[in-house]
Amino acid sequence: MSARIEVIETDITRLKIDAIVNAANRSLLGGGGVDGAIHRAAGPELLEECRKLCGCNTGEAKITRGYRLPARYVIHTVGPVWRGGVRNEEKLLADCYRNSMKLVKKYRLKSVAFPAISTGAYGFPSDKAAEIAVRTILEEVDIADMVQLVIFCCCNSECRKYHEKVLEKLRNG
């Protein structure tokens, strides 16, 4: 069975799911946006575990437990800062989704939710980011996988509409 892919509009920290993805920075020591929300909801044990990870390069991903979150795991990935598209940002953003999915598969997780990585403080254009996110996930999710559900979790309607539009376009060929 191939994975179900959904787009929803909610606070990612509320999802009871195997893993949520965090749009972190290279220190992995917390910040604002979705990163701040995840650390607040998970509690101080998350920061303690993050300290042991010694940071993370842009485009890569590392996993921790979810602590007080309803989600069992947090996958921390570092999106690129948008610099006009001339610094390999598109490939680095796709790497975030690809490397997060590698951990999902390695840990044999069945469900995962992604925020719109890089589209807040890091300034990546939301429409372009949605196209990369959906395209990469469709490539990564294959029939033989354990993965049953991938959620694009948006926190506003613009983000949701971009993801829905691309998903519909790519599904219908």
Enumerate the active-site residues: 35
CA dihedral of 168, 103, 90, 115, whole degrees rounded to 10: 60
Dist. CA 102–CA 10, nearest whole Å:
25
Dist. CA 165–CA 92, nearest whole Å:
22
C-alpha distances in angstroms, 104 versus 86, 87, 138, 157? 30, 27, 14, 27
Rounded to a whole number of angstroms, the minimum distance from the CB of residue 18 to ligand AR6 is 17
Compose the 25-44 pattern: x for residues touching ligand AR6 by CB under 6 A, - for all others: x-----xxxxx-x-------
For residues 58-97, which are near ligand AR6 according to CB under 6 A?
A: 79
Interaction between residue 19 and ligand AR6 (CB under 6 A): no
# of chain residues touching ligand AR6 (CB under 6 A): 24
Q: List the structure tokens of 141.
A: 């999710």
Q: List the structure tokens of 163.
A: 């993801």
C-alpha distances in angstroms, 119 versus 23, 116, 155, 172? 9, 6, 11, 26
Q: Which stretch binds ligand AR6 (CB under 6 A): 61-69, 85-93, 100-108, 120-128?
A: 120-128
Rounded to a whole number of angstroms, the minimum distance from the CB of residue 119 to ligand AR6 is 4
Amino acid residing at 90:
E
Q: List the structure tokens of 71.
A: 């989600």
Rounded to a whole number of angstroms, the minimum distance from the CB of residue 161 to ligand AR6 is 13
63 or 155: CB nearest ligand AR6: 155
From candidates 121, 138, 149, 170, binder to ligand AR6 by CB under 6 A: 121
For residues 144-173, which are near ligand AR6 according to CB under 6 A?
A: 153, 155, 159
Residues that bind ligand AR6 (CB under 6 A): 11-13, 23-25, 31-35, 37, 79, 115-122, 153, 155, 159
